[in-house]
Structure formats: C-alpha cells, structure tokens
Structure 1
C-alpha cells in the first residue's frame, strides 16, 4: 500500500510540474486555443460556422489535355504557393510538377493579378534544373526538383526578389540539396537573370559545378544590395532552414522545424509557428527562439499553419484542424486579441472538389496556406489574404475581411445596389472556381444583381449569406435562370453546423422542387429568362416546417422540414448538387486515370440572384 501511495504522489508531482510549466503565453505554451470547439470530420463544412464574407478564388485550374487553358505544360501537380503584393499587384508563386509530388520534372511558376480576382496566365520563373554536362545525378535520385518554403522578398531599397530551392528527387533537403536561387522581378513585369544566392551547406556545390552564377557576379548594385539585405536578415532567412540546416553557421537559431512563419505580439515578442502545432518565442526580434514546443490545443498534422497580425490590430491563425496528413480539410481560422489566446474556430474554406488527377502524395483538401510575409506588401483595404493549393493540383487565393466575425445581429437587406460591380460581394461567402464564377452585374434595365455562372463538370460556384440566427425565419429572394445545362441550382437554408432543413432546387428537368423527407417533390415548372420571387417561411420549433410562396402564390404549405435543427443562420445558393467527396475514407494513394472529361468545359449554366431579404425571431 505504501508503495502505491508513493507512486501516486510521484505521478501527482510530475503532473503538477507539467501543469505549472505550461504557462500560457510563455515559451512553454506560446499560443493556446481555448474555444473547445473541434470539427465534425464527416462533412466538408466540418460542423463549423463561417468566417463571414470570405471569398475563395481559383487562380489556376490544372488541365492535362488542354494545356493552353492552364499553364502551357499540362502538368497536374501544383502546390506550395507563396503570395506577395508589390507595384500595385498581387504575385503568386508555386511549384509545378508533371503529376507527382517530389518527382522530376518540377519547375516554379508565377502569376499576377491587379485585383485578386482576375489572374494572368502562368509563366515559368525558375525552369527545371539542367546540370552542367560533366555533373551526374547522385545514386538514388531520379532527377532534379524545386522545393518551396519562401517565394518573395521586397528589399528595403524597393527591389522585388523571387526565390526557390533546387534539389534532387525524391528528397531535396540538406545533403540532397543544391542551393537557393534568386532573380529580380522588374516593375515592367520582366525578370532578371537567375543566380544562386546560397549553396547547400552540406554539399560541395559551388559556381564551378552548378548551372547558374553566384549572385555576387551581378553588376547591378541595387540587386546586390537587395540580396545582401536578405542574407543578413536572420528572421526571414530562417524560412530556409528546413532545406539547408546551415552546418556552416549561417543561421542564428539551429532548432527550427518545418515551414516557419512568424508574427510579432503586442508585448514585442515574436511568435514562431511551424507545421504540426510547433510554436516558440523570440525576445530579440527573431534572431533566436526558444525551443519549439507542441501547442497541443491546435490539432493539426502535416499541413502548414499560418499566423499574422490583421489590419484591425488583432491576430489570426489558419490551419487544417485535424490530425490527418492525407485529408487536409477544412481550412479553418481562429482569432485572438493578444496573439496568445485564440478562440472561435471558423471556416475559411469548406468546398473540397473531387481530385481529377491521381498522383503520388497528392493529399486532399486546401493545402499549405500562406499569407503575405511581413515586408512583402500590403494590399489596399483591410482584408487578410492567403493562398493555398487544392488537392495539390489547383491553385487558389482567399480574401478574409477583417474584423473576422461569424455572427450577424440585424436583418439582411441585400439588393446589391450599394455594391460596386468591380468590387467585392460584401458579407457573402463566395466559392469561385475559374470555370464557375460569381460576380455582380447590371441587367439591361440597370438592375444590379449577383450572377453565378458554371461551366465546370467537377466543381460549382457557391454563394452563402450568413444572417441573424433564429428559430423562425422569413427569407425572400429572386432567382432568374439565364442558361441551363444538366446541373441543378440549389437553395438551402442551414443551421450553424451545415444541416439543411430547407432544400429547394431548380432541377435539370425544368421543375422547381423541394425536398420532402428523402424525396424531391415538384412544385412548378420554370422558364429561362424569367424572374421568380420566393418567400420561404420556416420554423425550427418542434420537428420544423416551412412554406414556399412563389410570385405571391402559396405553392407549398407546412412542409415537414428535411431535418430537425435548433435554429438556422445562413442561406446557400449553389450551381450544382452538394459534393461531400472526397471523404475521410476516400483512398488517397491511387493510380486511377483522370476523371472522365476532367479537362472539358460543360455547357454554360447561369443564374441571377437578387433582393435577398431575411428576418428572424426566436419565438
């Protein structure tokens, strides 16, 4: 008995030591998520509320058989995106491979945008590596590849550099690396020569046995000054550590983890973040850090995490909140007042299309989210911008309005007249693939409305409006079908978890339908080119019921709700049937052929939405 008591006290002492050691805000626990909400892994929306007004915009849609519609190469592995804003436009850089991760050939691409919505055609910024004739590929390697942890640097003298890392497949790191290359992006859009700015420190690569000269050979003094400024910045260059851990003493902190980024807290401390929930603190502006520790309240796996201070003076961290490396969805965001305590786990990206092309290590979902690194520009407005790859084949950007919020406290009265055609769709969450876009347009009579187009056979456009949460809802809106292919147009009213008790569809047989139980029920035929005015009266009380009024005529009354919910808070418009694949059970490592007609556009479907007025109450 005495032994048992002694052991118990010993364990208790150990636990007390651990608890006292993990002081939130200290180097033992630099950040903490206190929300207590975690995800439902069985749906793409994951049972989370939306960060209001987030716009996800596809910048590249991979296309194998029509490369002129994608990148001129037809390569279907695209990943590791970086973002900057300079000279009045966005710059997105990413690596691109033929079909697999860490398999040759791999090069680096660059695209630009003036407004974050319309993006240029990609161009190669760092080509596939061609070694000098007398240099052979090391044993075990299948070729050369690029790897990305840092894409851009805006120097104090205003010069814009883009960078990447050459290495050997399938592991380009450390002794398998070659070195980091750099070139300048000029204001007219052209590119300067490629140089090595640093050779891998665990190898014997140098100017005599590599394909590009060392940067010091440049005669451009401004370029040299920009490169030297970068090399002397120990915080920014810590992003390089994973690829080359600096056995030559280059780094001032030698315990870095994977995919480093950072932000500065209001108390002056710098918070370092890495993959797999690691965090650390710096008291000297990022020259050195405390030993990285697991921030266990941030549940994640092999995907990156991104943290920054937002324009409203608060803080945000985005990550995939699940411990599954191959299933990296959804993309979430949490917020903080002080950069220490984070709350409100919200959705930033919840639409996961099917993967059209198989490939090695092509994980599902929005992967490797990155924002704009401090110093690399500040776009107009107060939005937070991020970039990511989807299924490691398509490239996207994400615009998140600040302050980041999830609740609405007044009725919705959106007639879109107060919004600019060239601007954002204010307070609407938009999912906009390149082939399924949402935009504000003017009809011939001057009426402004929301247009949703779709020519994508494997993805859809979606527009969601969060409204004041309530048990009893009156939702009015207008819909006009401009063009109709074989897809359906769905309108759902949902609760905070994504459950849809009200489901209405403009179906492909030209009938407006409602879902009653598990069956769609015809309400009336619809014609293209004609506005239909809807009023939905829904009550969540009891099992729930709703009535549908179209063009001032009661079409369906007291229909049983599709499912019982406590309350509702958003309306969704979608240009196709809801897709919940891939799921957590979808095989990841496959060698399947491309999906049928993956590269072909379908016929246009086009819809207009207007006069979305929603009021709620709780009795």
Structure 2
C-alpha cells in the first residue's frame, strides 16, 4: 500500500512538472505560435499570404567597380543594420567589408532619410581600427573588424549616440574583443569624435593601449551624460552581452549563456519584459530588464542563425519578425506574426518574399533578407502608425521596410484604386511594393489631371514589383490600365495569384511588342501594343475545374476561356512585375562558392518604364 501511494505521488509530481513545462506565457514558454501556417521551403513566397501594404525599399545597392554609385568604397559585404528615428529623419547603420564576413577590414556606415523612401549617400561612422604602434595582434587574428548588435541610443538629454564594437578578426568576441566605441551624431548631420565607452572585460585593453580616449575625457558634459545614461540602461546594454560577457560584473546577475545572440525585447501589457534571441530562444524579466530567466527554446517559432525582432506596435498589439526556416544558409522568406498580448502569436505572413541573385560571392553570404531590426524603445518614433524595420539582402544590399498597422492579410470589399486620393510622398495604400534603387515603384503625376503608379527598371538582376491583395474569390473580374513608356531591357508581367503564390492567370507586355496571355501550357500573342499609349485590360477568371479566363483589351474580347496555367481553389492578389518570375536561388543553390561577379552587375541597363492606373477588382467566393 505504501509503495502504491509512493508511486501515485511520483506520478502526480511528474504530471505537475509536465504541466509547468507547458505553461504558455511563463518562463517555461514565454511565447507561442499557434497558427497553422508553415512555409513551403521550395518557393520564395513560401506559400504564405502577404501582410498587406508593406513597402520594401532598397537603401544601398553594392557596386564593386563603380563605388560612386554605392558607398564610395566598392565593398560588397554589407550586413547587420540598425535603425533609429531622431531629429525628423531616419538613421540606418550597418557594417561593411570588402567581400567577406569577419575578414578585415570591416567598418560601420551611416545613411539617412527624411521620409524613409529617399536615402542619402553612406558615410563612415567608424572606420577600420588602426591600433597604436607596438600593439600585438592576438594569435590567429588577421586584423581588426567592426561588429555590433546595437547601433543607436537616444539619451534622456536628447543626444543621439551611434555605437559599435571593435574586435579582432576572425572572431571579435570574448578575448578577441577590444571594446565598444561611441560618438555623437549632431543635428546638422556631422559627427563628434570617437571615444571608447567600455573596454572588453576579458582583456587588458584600456586608454593607454587603444586608439581612442575613454568617454570621460570628453569636454562635452552632455556627451558624457549621454554615455553614462547608456551604461546604466540595463535593457540597452544586454545587447552587448555576447560580445563582452562582463567578467567584471557589469551584467550582474550574470547567468546567461553568451551563445544566446542578438538580444532584443518588448514589454508585455502585464509589465513583464520578453527577451528574444536567435534560434528561437526567449526569456522573461520581472525586474525591468535587470535580470532574465534562463532562455528556453520557443519551439513553435522555427528559426536558425538569422536574427529575430519583436516589438509592440502602434495599435497596441505585438509583432515578431524572423526567417521561419531552420537552415542558416537560406534565410528566406522574411515573415511576421502578430499577437494581442505578446504571448500567443498567430497568422504567419510575408514581409519580404523576394530573393534576387547574389551578384558577388563571399564567405558566409547567406541567401535572402535577414538580420531584421526595428526601432528600439526610446530610439524614436517615426510619423504615423507604421512599423519600420531594416535588413540586409544576401548580406550584400541594405533595405528598409514600412509595415502598416494593424497588420492584416484579408480584404473584404472590392478594390477601386485610381490613385488620385494618395499623396506622391506617402504610402501607396494597401499595395505591397518591392522597390530596388535601380527599379523603383512610386506614385507620379502623369498629367496635371492624372496620378498613377510607375514602375521603372534599369537593374540587370532585379525588378520592380507591385502587388494588390483583393477579396479572395473563385470568380474574379479585374480591370486595369497599362501604359508602356519604354521596354527595351525588361518585360512587364501581370499575374492573378492565389494565397499560396500559385499563378493561374499570366499576362505580359512582351519585349517583342505584343500583349500575351498564357494559354494552358504556353504564351500566345493577343495584339501588338504601342509605346506611350494607355491600354485598358479586363480579365474574367473562374476557378472551377482546372480554371479558365477571358481577356479583353480596350473592351474587345481577344481571348475567351483560356485554360488557366494551373488549377487553384481561389485567388486573392494581382501582381505587376518588370521581369520574369524567379524561384532561384533555392535551398539547393550552393552557398559557399567563389565565383566571379555576375556579368554586368555594376552597370545600369537602359531604363524601362511602365504605368498602372484604375485598378478595379471584384470577386465572388462561390
């Protein structure tokens, strides 16, 4: 009997432990994704729906042979960006190397924008480190490099600091670290002198053997106060932990494993702080970020070596953005999931589904949009209610994105977009835009009386794209106008797409001068088109069976009941693109290669230009 009672008690204890380990919202599982959406790893759009209205804008296009068209240096490894909003403009900071990750020289660049759309020319924030004479480089090091998990800090006194970390290649962490540097960014755009704000705690670097003075030597009282405020801000400085784990007790209580990387955080509505790290790790703090529970793997969030970003959004909800794939070398797509309480997340949606060709090979240059970072609490609040993030593409080009809130994926009414009530400087409302520097998407005034959407393209390896989500339906009537101004080096493709990215309806304004449509298994010519002339197109699509569609041009029926390119259950978006559909690189594309640059990668093609107007779409579910 005693043995039976002991056995029952043991089962009871084990059951309690199992329940505790499964308690969502507690330190055992701080966050949980409950959505049923998981990615299709074989397609760039990954089988996901779009977060509606996201605008992706390229801020730097790497250029090796024409550096005046990129950064002034021609360096092709660009990565690890950070974002802030201060003094009425955006600030983006990123690291830049000649070609490879963790190979000297590596410096930190700074670029700004007043509106988030038009970005200036990068300037050097922290140049490659030059050590004082007679300083020995540690064994195994090949030089010095910049590294940072944190880029900006707006101090309580209003000063803006930019911050980064100097270390030795090829590993700047731990005993290979030198220290963290800071300098002030002034309102006129200039920058103050560089100071060390903290030396690496595991080494003997100090003011006597490093290249910059300690911040306390500054004669600027306001700058010293800003640095002191940063050093006392526990949440901000947790971002430094993996580079310098505080052997001097700086991070007391110091119980975290330095292998947990790229920390960021947000505050829940109950006051608890949620800490996030790479590889799905999460923890909680109940003391305002002074300490955290042991990080645990939030297994419902599938991710690998790319960063993760979480924040509370302007509508009072929460969002976490990451690459939902467990392969470090293939960091696509860039997705987002949302929550009402910062604990339970649902609806995995696309932020960035494009993966252009990597023009320059280099060490550890993983494919796709990754290392996303938003604006940290306290580092400014951009106008409007949008969520802003920055990221790198292929560890080569730099981007930002604007994500409207509330974050949504469904449309429940007809689309009637004539673009007249939108402002040229503002958002193209409810349109998802992909806008590289050499293939821009923007609203323009075609004439005094007509505003429309313009897609240009002079990029030999990328394209402009505009997507409009409409109400999901089996029967769709879509009408729109297209004008081809120039089409010398690009073709204009139009597709009606389902929520998984399948493309049953495919049209094009081809380079041979014909409007074409996909007829079952091939493209067929419908009618020749002329440049600088508007064409009104109408597509009636029916998803029944294998699906079919009819095409009208200027109210003339040119193709009736064409078999769809593929069978789908319904459709929900229309896509306009200045180039052919692509799905490479894919998960089988070799990553670590040593190939020459893609031919002509640094040379602009002759510009193609397309205009879109009067997009009207109605749909029926049955």
Bin the TM-score by the shorter chain. over 0.9
**Aligned residue in 2 for 1:75:** 75
The answer to whether the 8 A contact 1:464-1:570 is kept is: yes
Whole-angstrom distance in 1 between the partners of 2:505 and 2:268 = 44
SS of alignment partner, residue 420 of structure 2: coil
**Residues 316-331 of structure 1 mapped to structure 2, 5 A cutoff:** 316-331=319-334
**Aligned residue in 2 for 1:172:** 172
**Aligned residue in 2 for 1:261:** 264
| Cα shift readout 1:527-561 (whole Å, capped 9, x = no counterpart) | 10000000100000111100000001000000001
The answer to whether the 8 A contact 1:167-1:173 is kept is: yes
Whole-angstrom distance in 1 between the partners of 2:611 and 2:346 = 37
**Aligned residue in 1 for 2:375:** 372
- Quick check: 514-523 or 475-484, which moved more? 514-523
Where does the alignment leave 5 or more consecutive residues of structure 2 unmatched?
Answer: 1-5
**Residues 145-544 of structure 1 mapped to structure 2, 5 A cutoff:** 145-254=145-254, 255=256, 257-544=260-547
| Cα shift readout 1:188-209 (whole Å, capped 9, x = no counterpart) | 1110000000000000000111
Whole-angstrom distance in 2 between the partners of 1:15 and 1:565 = 46
How far did 1:367 drift?
1.3
| 1:52 and 2:55 matched | no
Whole-angstrom distance in 1 between the partners of 2:262 and 2:272 = 20
How far did 1:407 drift?
0.1
How far did 1:10 drift?
9.2
Whole-angstrom distance in 1 between the partners of 2:462 and 2:19 = 47
The answer to whether the 8 A contact 1:437-1:452 is kept is: yes
Rate the CA distance shift 1:499–1:13 in 2: closer, same or farther, 3 A: farther
| Cα shift readout 1:121-141 (whole Å, capped 9, x = no counterpart) | 000000000000111211110
How far did 1:252 drift?
2.8
Whole-angstrom distance in 2 between the partners of 1:445 and 1:192 = 46
Whole-angstrom distance in 2 between the partners of 1:375 and 1:47 = 36
RMSD between aligned residues: 1.5
How far did 1:402 drift?
0.1
The answer to whether the 8 A contact 2:44-2:583 is kept is: yes
Whole-angstrom distance in 1 between the partners of 2:104 and 2:434 = 32
Rate the CA distance shift 1:203–1:610 in 2: closer, same or farther, 3 A: same
| 1:551 and 2:571 matched | no
Q: What is the TM-score with the length of structure 2 in the denominator? A: 0.97
SS of alignment partner, residue 234 of structure 2: coil
Whole-angstrom distance in 2 between the partners of 1:185 and 1:523 = 58
| Cα shift readout 1:566-606 (whole Å, capped 9, x = no counterpart) | 00000000000011111000000000000000001011100
Whole-angstrom distance in 1 between the partners of 2:50 and 2:266 = 24
Whole-angstrom distance in 2 between the partners of 1:252 and 1:353 = 44
Whole-angstrom distance in 1 between the partners of 2:53 and 2:179 = 41
Whole-angstrom distance in 1 between the partners of 2:363 and 2:448 = 52
SS of alignment partner, residue 396 of structure 1: strand
How far did 1:11 drift?
10
**Aligned residue in 1 for 2:3:** none
Q: 585, 590, 612: which one pairs with 2:588?
A: 585
Rate the CA distance shift 1:241–1:516 in 2: closer, same or farther, 3 A: same
Whole-angstrom distance in 1 between the partners of 2:491 and 2:441 = 16
**Aligned residue in 2 for 1:140:** 140
Whole-angstrom distance in 2 between the partners of 1:253 and 1:369 = 28
**Aligned residue in 2 for 1:3:** none
**Residues 43-122 of structure 1 mapped to structure 2, 5 A cutoff:** 43-122=43-122
Aligned length: 614
Q: What is the TM-score with the length of structure 1 in the denominator? A: 0.98
Whole-angstrom distance in 2 between the partners of 1:95 and 1:618 = 49
The answer to whether the 8 A contact 1:234-1:252 is kept is: no
